[in-house]
Structure 1
Amino acid sequence: MAPLFMTGCFLTPGDFESELTIENSGQFTFAYRGEIVLNLPNRAGSNTYDVEAIYADIEPTCYNEPATVAEPDAVVEPDTAADAADGADDWSIGIPDTAYEPRECTPEEIAEQRAEWQETIDAMRENEQRQATIMMQLLGGINIDDDETMRAYAARLQQQRGWNSVVYRGNRVFEVDYRITGSVDQGFVFPVLDGFEVSQPMVVITAAEDGTVRVQAPGFASDRGLAGMMLLSGMGEMADAESPVQTTANGRFVVRTNGDIRTNNTESGPADEAGMRVLAWMVDGLSRPKPETLIRLSR
Structure 2
Amino acid sequence: PFESALVRVGRSGRVSVYTGAMAMGQGLKTILAQITADQLGVRPEDITVVSGDTSTVPLGLGGFASRQTVTAGNSTYLAAKAVREKAIAAAAALLDVPPDNLRIEDGVVREPGKNLSISLLEIADSLAGAPGYKLAAGVSPGLEAAINFETSALTYGLGVHAVELEVEPNTGGVKLLNYVIVNDCGKVINPQTAEGQIHGGVVHGIGNALFEWMGYDENAQPFTMTLSEYLLPTAPEIPPIDVQLVEYPSPKNPLGVKGIGESGTVPAAAAIVSGVEDALRDYKVTIEEIPVNPAKLFELIRRPSATAR
User: Which TM-score tier does this pair reach, normalised by the shorter chain?
Assistant: under 0.3
Higher relative CO (Cα under 8 Å, sequence separation at least 6) belongs to 1
Bigger Rg, which one: 1
Is the helix fraction higher in 1 or 2?
Answer: 2
TM-score (norm 1): 0.23
